Amino acid sequence: MGWTKRVAAVVVPLGLVVGGVAYGVSRHSSGDGAKDLGECRTKVGDLTVVLTDEQARNASLIAAVSVGRGMPAHAATIGLATALQESKLYNLHGGDRDSLGLFQQRPSQGWGTPHQILDPLHATNAFYDALDRVPGYDTLAVTKAAQEVQHSGFPEAYASYEGDARALASALTGYSPAAFSCHLPVPVGQRTQPQLWARLIGSSLTPAFGRGVAVSVATGGHVQVAAPSSARGWAIASYLVARAYRLDISHVSYRGREWSAGSDGGWQRASGGSTAGFVVVG
């Protein structure tokens, strides 16, 4: 077929083969009652990584926080490889001893209260705070950098997720344009007034990307998000696609490409509505 598929959602593999491609089907629960709505894919080079939409939301947050903090894409790779190994990108309500959350952080080891650790934003920032204290982490091997933060009993395990993590980081930090998409239902909620909808989208983007995110109402009641660079624009676009159903988003367009809810076609050529300087949401 010309590409290989890696399924990062595997916890308990079940024997399902479709069209000659082996799928791993997860029966893992995050413990927060969330129900998966669809499937998200990242394709970079010959590697395709398939995630549930819950995993994709967590992966896009980990990448977005690294962008917002001004960290290199290698930091996102380290964070994603760590979360893939520790929790398969689910926000776990339990684990070994008192371990919790995306990175299986322990309250007894100073990572925060259980409530804080179960907040993916807090957990991700805590991970990057620790990574920032590792001398030269930006040049360290992924396994070495992750182990310096996690102090795992199985340090070699992070290496098995490095390829998936690099592909996800490249797509979700915007360095591989239009490489991340989701097949999600068309939102069924009642869209709020444009100003309130823009505020809702901004309240989702700002904690991850920082206070510099500029969200405004565009012509036709669309919402636009300023994109100061191509990479940042694609990072924002990917983040919004991962949360499209929850944010009542039907379309995301950027740099002549458009993603649509309810479609499995990924990013298609857009007929209009997007410019290089803005991610446009409809």
Digit-coded pLDDT (tens) for 11-65 = 322 222 222 222 222 323 344 444 567 899 999 999 999 999 999 999 999 999 9
Q: What angle do CA 43, 49, 52 make, to 5 degrees?
A: 120
User: What percent of the chain has pLDDT above 70?
Assistant: 84
Question: What global pTM score does this model have?
Answer: 0.87
Does pLDDT of 4 surpass 80?
Answer: no
Name the more confident of 37 and 250. 250
pLDDT, tens digit, 9 for 90 and up, residues 115-138: 999 999 999 999 999 999 999 999
DSSP 270: -
Residue 218, both tokens: 């565009």
Element (H, E) at 256: none
Span 151-175, mean pLDDT? 92
d(CA 165, CA 227): 24
| The pLDDT value given to residue 221 | 87
Q: How far, in whole angstroms, is CA 182 from its chain's centroid?
A: 11
168, 254 Cβ separation under 8 angstroms = no
pLDDT for 6? 44
Tokens 């991610």, located at residue: 279
Q: What is the pLDDT of residue 16?
A: 23
CA distances 101 to 65, 122, 219, 269, Å, are: 16, 10, 41, 38
Please state, as a whole number, how many other Cβ atoms lie within 10 Å of the Cβ of residue 61: 25
